[in-house]
């Protein structure tokens, strides 16, 4: 199988630094280097090229700074899985905390070791290539959505997160998903509607439902609710991260086993 080309975007208004980083990353095999001078240029490249990793300065000319670029990337379901590394001369703890709060994966202050960045990229690529299944999480509570997504990504699952049921259906239509985790009580399109529409598209899709509704919790206690909906498991709010992990592993276990058998048979 041909290894996927790794796309790295370097965003900095300092020409010398951009070329230093480009030369540094050229030691990485099968890697395409993209460069931008401003936040606006970066957003155009991100939309068109969909880089895997973005190295991002904060202070740049133009209408949008590095924080704005980071926030755009991480607030969009289409790009939020992009690995964003802020490289900046802003050393205040408050700046670092803000950068991480809007989704930056790393916050590194200048000066830095170029080879440290190379090792970071190699480590990320290794995790990316051995990543487990893709999980779509649908939850209108932004804090809970962020917590679930962060937890699953730490276990190296590929996570797509959205607050809207309508967007979840479009994602199911456009890309491969191995598991859906959806809240039941949501505005616009609730979880039951989402589940019904998913099964119309793929009747075999494994689904974990999560709910804090007292009626559903009562029904779920004897598994009637999960059988009624056709889902694999029901997580009752509040649930622990251990309960989330156990549910995901148990639901995906049959699929993982099938994939392992297929790989061993050379399929």
- Provide the mean pLDDT of the chain: 85
Dihedral angle at the C-alpha atoms of 66, 71, 72, 77, nearest 10 degrees? Answer: 140
Is residue 255 over pLDDT 60? no
The range of the structural domain enclosing residue 247 comes to 134-264
Is residue 71 over pLDDT 80? yes
For the chain, what is the domain count?
Answer: 2
- pLDDT confidence of residue 254: 59
Domain limit, last residue, from 105, 129, 153: 129
Round to the nearest angstrom and report the end-to-end CA distance of the chain: 12
Residue 65 domain-assigned (yes or no): yes
Structure tokens at 213: 């509704």
Which residues have a Cβ under 8 Å from the Cβ of 256 and sit 6 or more positions away?
132, 133
Q: Categorize the per-residue pLDDT at 226 as very low, low, confident or very high, splitting at 50, 70 and 90.
A: low
**CATH number of the structural domain spanning residue 226:** 3.40.50.2300
- pLDDT confidence of residue 78: 77
If asked whether residues 118 and 138 sit together in one domain, one would say no
Residue 169 domain-assigned (yes or no): yes
pTM: 0.54
Q: Of all residues in the chain, what percent carry a pLDDT higher than 90?
A: 61
If asked whether residues 121 and 139 sit together in one domain, one would say no
Whether the CB-CB separation of 177 and 157 falls below 8 Å is answered with: no
Q: What is the pLDDT of residues 120-168, one digit of tens each?
A: 999 888 777 665 689 999 999 999 999 999 999 877 788 999 999 999 9
Is residue 256 over pLDDT 50? no
If asked whether residues 179 and 253 sit together in one domain, one would say yes
DSSP 37: S
Domain limit, last residue, from 129, 145, 176: 129
Write out the H or E segment, with its range, that includes residue 181: strand 179-183
If asked whether residues 16 and 123 sit together in one domain, one would say yes
Q: What is the pLDDT of residues 11-51, one digit of tens each?
A: 999 999 999 999 999 999 889 999 999 999 999 999 999 89
The span from the CA of 123 to the CA of 117, in Å, is: 10
If asked whether residues 176 and 82 sit together in one domain, one would say no
Whether the CB-CB separation of 139 and 194 falls below 8 Å is answered with: no
- pLDDT confidence of residue 3: 56
Greater confidence, 43 or 255?
A: 43
Domain limit, last residue, from 68, 98, 129: 129
Is residue 175 over pLDDT 90? no
If asked whether residues 112 and 188 sit together in one domain, one would say no
Q: Categorize the per-residue pLDDT at 266 as very low, low, confident or very high, splitting at 50, 70 and 90.
A: very low
């Amino acid at each position: 199988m041909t290894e996927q080309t790794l796309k790295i975007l370097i965003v900095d208004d300092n020409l010398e630094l951009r070329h230093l980083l480009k030369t540094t990353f050229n030691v990485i095999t099968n890697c395409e280097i993209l460069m931008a001078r401003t936040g606006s240029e970066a957003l155009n490249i991100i939309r068109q090229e969909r880089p895997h990793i973005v190295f991002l300065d904060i202070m740049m000319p133009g209408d949008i700074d590095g924080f704005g670029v980071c926030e755009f990337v991480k607030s969009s379901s289409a790009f939020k899985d992009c690995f964003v590394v802020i490289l900046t001369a802003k050393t205040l703890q408050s700046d670092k905390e803000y950068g991480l709060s809007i989704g930056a994966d790393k916050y590194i202050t200048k000066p830095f070791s170029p080879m440290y960045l190379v090792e970071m990229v190699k480590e990320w690529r290794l995790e990316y290539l051995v990543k487990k299944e893709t999980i779509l999480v649908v939850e209108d509570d932004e804090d809970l959505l962020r917590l679930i997504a962060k937890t699953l990504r730490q276990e190296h699952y590929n996570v797509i997160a959205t607050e809207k049921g309508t967007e979840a259906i479009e994602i199911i239509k456009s890309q491969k998903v191995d598991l859906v985790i959806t809240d039941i009580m949501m505005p616009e399109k609730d979880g039951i509607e989402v589940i019904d529409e998913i099964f119309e598209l793929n009747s075999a899709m494994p689904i974990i439902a999560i709910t804090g509704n007292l009626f559903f919790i009562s029904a779920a206690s004897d598994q009637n609710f999960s059988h009624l909906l056709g889902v694999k498991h029901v997580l009752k709010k509040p649930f622990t991260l251990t309960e989330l992990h156990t549910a995901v592993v148990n639901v995906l276990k049959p699929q993982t086993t099938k994939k392992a058998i297929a790989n061993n048979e050379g399929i």
